[in-house]
């Protein structure tokens, strides 16, 4: 059986580019609590938006959908799920909420991973969640001709409980060492979790939930305010590519963690940068909402839609955004392009002095 001991593996990842990511994230972490205290009111809106986006994107990666209107109602717990997809979305919502509110009290142990997986499927009519796989599974993909090909053979079903036990023990053991950086160990753990593929269904979504849990437990709370799942969904081609690259020769313990580690560190950096951008314009509430909207259009390269603006300034109402855009067009500060749902805006640089 594979050895999950990280103590002799993480130091090999300390390349200049990875160290650069680590340094940047550590600096952002130092600022996050100060920002959280200053902008508690704004962060409430960011948390709500991140909850919706995370639930939507993590499920969308697995081909699980519902309408935007239904999604928001389900995430806000204002309606009951009707379809299987909606039941799985509701389950993800509840597990995400559990992690957000109770991460400090969730040990990284197989029994708790099973409980989270159980709750992921709590709305299903049959018992799918809360059990490790009982039959071997494979990870497949389709080639350009539509033929299925095997990309990876995970750990056998009979080995899975012990593999997850060893994985959790290895994680705890290495973090008990003072010099081990959790930012390196977390993506290594997630890669190994995905290679074990311990469940019949839900492995991808569980891996993203566990990513948030491990980050929170190590003090990296950016995923509460900026959807890490949304950033992964937007770059899912790279996500799958780096997973494949890092899982090569995994069973022989000759795999290279670096591609997946660098990818995940890049996602975390992007989340922190987004977090800083969304809070800087409301520093001490000195900038009015219309001025913030104008500043976002001005600083955005190319065109921007109203929907994109609403995501960037979630504490500003749709009515205020639309009124400000109308005023800016009338003042000829911005240019309106297109009509209806395809309308975009860009800054009118010809009017600048």
Give the span between the Cα atoms of 263 and 239, in whole angstroms. Answer: 7
Give the span between the Cα atoms of 292 and 278, in whole angstroms. Answer: 10
DSSP element (H, E) containing 53:
helix 40-61
Tens of pLDDT, residues 89-112 = 999 999 999 999 999 999 999 999
Residue 341 is given by DSSP the state: G
| Helix 203-217, helix 182-196: angle, nearest 10 | 160
pLDDT of residue 284: 44
Region 285-351: CATH code: 1.10.10.10
Region 10-280: CATH code: 1.10.3290.10
Give the span between the Cα atoms of 100 and 115, in whole angstroms. Answer: 16
Give the span between the Cα atoms of 18 and 212, in whole angstroms. Answer: 20
Residue 255 makes CB contacts below 8 A (sequence gap 6+) with 191, 246, 247, 248, 249
Instruction: Say if CB 85 and CB 55 are below 8 A apart.
Output: no
Instruction: Say if CB 239 and CB 263 are below 8 A apart.
Output: yes
Question: Domain coordinates of the chain in residue numbers?
Answer: 10-280, 285-351
Identify the segments of the chain with pLDDT beneath 50.
Answer: 284
pLDDT of residue 41: 67
Give the span between the Cα atoms of 126 and 200, in whole angstroms. Answer: 14
Model pTM score: 0.81
Q: State whether the Cα torsion 138-150-240-252 is positive or negative.
A: positive
How far is CA 205 from each of CA 7, 146, 307, rounded to the nearest angstrom? Answer: 27, 25, 26
pLDDT of residue 148: 74
| Chain centre to alpha carbon of residue 284 | 28
């Amino acid at each position: 059986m594979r050895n999950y001991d990280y103590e002799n593996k993480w130091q090999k990842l300390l390349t200049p580019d990875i160290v650069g990511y680590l340094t940047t994230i550590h600096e952002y972490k130092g600022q996050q609590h100060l920002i959280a205290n200053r902008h508690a009111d704004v962060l409430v809106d960011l948390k709500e938006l991140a909850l919706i986006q995370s639930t939507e994107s993590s499920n969308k990666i697995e081909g699980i959908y519902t309408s935007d209107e239904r999604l928001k109602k389900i995430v806000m717990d204002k309606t009951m799920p009707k379809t299987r997809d909606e039941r799985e979305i509701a389950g993800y919502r509840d597990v995400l909420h559990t992690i957000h509110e109770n991460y400090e009290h969730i040990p990284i142990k197989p029994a708790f991973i099973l409980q989270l997986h159980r709750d992921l499927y709590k709305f299903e009519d049959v018992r799918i969640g809360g059990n490790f796989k009982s039959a071997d599974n494979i990870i497949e993909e389709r080639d350009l001709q539509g033929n299925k090909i095997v990309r990876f053979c995970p750990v056998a079903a009979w080995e899975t409980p012990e593999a997850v036990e060893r994985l959790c023990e290895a994680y705890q053991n290495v973090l008990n060492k003072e010099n081990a950086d959790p930012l390196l160990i977390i993506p290594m753990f997630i890669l190994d979790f995905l290679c074990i593929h311990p469940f019949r269904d839900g492995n991808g979504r569980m891996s993203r939930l566990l990513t948030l849990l491990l980050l929170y437990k190590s003090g990296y709370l950016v995923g509460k305010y900026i959807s890490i799942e949304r950033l992964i969904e937007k770059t899912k081609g790279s996500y799958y590519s780096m997973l494949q690259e890092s899982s090569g020769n995994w069973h022989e313990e000759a795999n290279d963690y670096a591609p997946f580690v660098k990818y995940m560190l890049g996602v975390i950096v992007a989340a922190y940068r987004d977090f800083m951008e969304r809070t800087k314009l409301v520093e001490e509430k000195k900038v009015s909402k219309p001025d913030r909207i104008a500043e976002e259009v001005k600083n955005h390269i190319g065109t921007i839609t109203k929907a994109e603006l609403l995501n960037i300034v979630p504490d500003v109402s749709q009515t205020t955004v639309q009124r400000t855009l109308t005023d800016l067009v009338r003042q000829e500060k911005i240019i309106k392009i297109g009509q209806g749902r395809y309308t975009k805006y860009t800054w009118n640089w010809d009017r600048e002095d």
